[in-house]
Structure 1
């Protein structure tokens, strides 16, 4: 078993791993880093997820539709409150964190 939490929250690979920072996935010129070190959402080796290509296509379609139809923002007064610190719970399942967002229809 690969410890996904340890990989994705390793301070050696990520500056401030507990904060939501999309710029982690951008290179110096602002382009998307294709395979950032320390990022293995679908695992690797013999245990790699067989549905990786399907999942990536579905995520693209879903987010394209969402961003085409809605505008998302942080509620007033809650700027800078997003934090990815986890309650490790008791076992493999991590509890979901709740975040408030504002979603406005575009048309």
Structure 2
């Protein structure tokens, strides 16, 4: 109790660690500590490149811009279907429909 309270009373919260063989203590630490990174039975040196880096409270630079989530923050999904053959196509399924042939010229189209 005292260790978690002391750590949480500090103005910074970049990284934290606990060394224990008691999984319940580790779970409690993970849930109660106010830090951007929590290490269980591991050092606080380094960062996880695939995760947002930064702390809580007065730690870090105010941004957590790393990891795969930054892609979602700065991009938008866009579906693109580019048909460059110049032909209109039926849906890609088997049907009994046969497309009519186009007239040979405009005169035929207009019935002149």
TM-score (norm 2): 0.21
Greater RCO, CA 8 A, separation 6+: 1
Q: TM-score, normalised by structure 1?
A: 0.22
Larger Rg: 2
